[in-house]
Structure 1
Amino acid sequence: MDWDWEPDEDETHTAYHEAGHAIVGCALGAQIDRVSLSQASAYDDLDDGLPSRFGDCLVNWGRVDPNQAWQQQRELLTILAGPIAELIYRAEDADQIDLAAWELDWQQAQQCVRQMHAQREMQNRILRDAVSRLKQLIGNPPVWPAVAALADELAIGDEIDGERVAELVRFWWRRAGY
């Protein structure tokens, strides 16, 4: 019997997205409680407007003082790391970011920058700067190999605990000499 499955690009994109959140969050000092992909395959035939695949990454910062700029910055970078990791995997430009597809991430990022600065122009600058920094950071070692390794594990389908995410970060950072 010859099995011929089409690769599921949505699942792969979601795996890179969630891996971006997890790896960057862990590298910035968060505890990752878990990261997973979920399939709504039982409901795939329904035309209810819900995504057929989605992911989840639970980032635990512990006790956070929202008035500390460095805490706000690491939270913003972690929020945006998912969309940027997916963007890099898709080999797209930041101008091609589909805001509707990442609506929850963008809402969280905007809420975060509103806490960082009151002026809209400055908020937009902070977001642009964060996206630019993340494209450089995520697209290179040690971050990119760690993101790719976690995305591969996520594609297998099992939920991944925070200790495994931390192991990947330690492994790839050591290989890069950090």
Structure 2
Amino acid sequence: MDDDIQLTAYHEAGHAVMAWYLGGVVERLTISPDTDDGPSRFGDTRVVWRTSQWSERELAVREIKVSLAGPVVEMVYSGDQYEPQFLAEWQHDWAMAVERASTFLPTGNAKVTYLQTMIAELIKFIERDDTWAAVAALADELEAHESLGAEEVSEILRAWPIG
């Protein structure tokens, strides 16, 4: 078992579990992403939101949580605390969170404080037994199959309810 692949599977599972928990549809989850015009990455999680359900701010908060959930799962998995904005492999996730926070927080300091508070809340959520079981189950399946579609993700996560 390759440690980097397993860590990537957990990272992507973190994004997917958070999106699914918050009402998003995880269309595709992979640790073998396409080479395209997007940023270089080890994995990819594609989420679709039913945007009419939430205000712009509510949707932005959901997207922030999903963006930060991957790095948070890695922190919980490794037992190490990092500042996501300072790790190159998390720059895309951090930039997405900052961009979405910019829609309702105008200053840099307010955004960083908000995102740090969000990370602390997400750590508590991810460390819960029910959440971690769902993350681990999805990561195991992702590592075994490299890519999962919407039906597979939903089937796996329905078996691991998060209360």
**1:10, 1:84 → 2: CA distance?**
16
Name the structure where helix makes up a greater proportion of residues.
2
Task: Return the index of the structure with the highest Cα Rg.
Answer: 1
1:140 aligns to 2:128 (yes or no): yes
**1:61, 1:156 → 2: CA distance?**
27
Unaligned ranges ≥5, structure 1:
1-6, 41-49
TM-score normalised by the chain length of structure 1: 0.79
> Which residue identity is paired with 2:5?
E
1:94 aligns to 2:86 (yes or no): no
Count how many residue pairs are aligned between Structure 1 and Structure 2.
159
Q: Displacement, 1:94? A: 3.4
Q: 19, 25, 30: which one pairs with 1:31?
A: 25
> Which residue identity is paired with 1:27?
Y
Q: Displacement, 1:168? A: 2.9
- For 2:157, the equivalent position in structure 1 comes to 169
| Coordinate RMSD, CA, aligned | 2.4
Q: Displacement, 1:77? A: 0.2
Runs of 4+ in 1 over 4 A off after TM superposition: 64-67, 95-98
CA contact (8 A) 1:114 1:123 kept: yes
Q: Displacement, 1:108? A: 0.6
Q: Tell me the secondary structure at the aligned position of residue 58 of structure 1.
A: strand
Provide Cα deviations, 1:49-92, integer angstroms capped at 9, x if missing partner. Answer: x97x7111101113368963221111100111011111111111
- For 1:113, the equivalent position in structure 2 comes to 101
Q: Tell me the secondary structure at the aligned position of residue 50 of structure 2.
A: coil
> Which residue identity is paired with 2:104?
M
TM-score normalised by the chain length of structure 2: 0.86
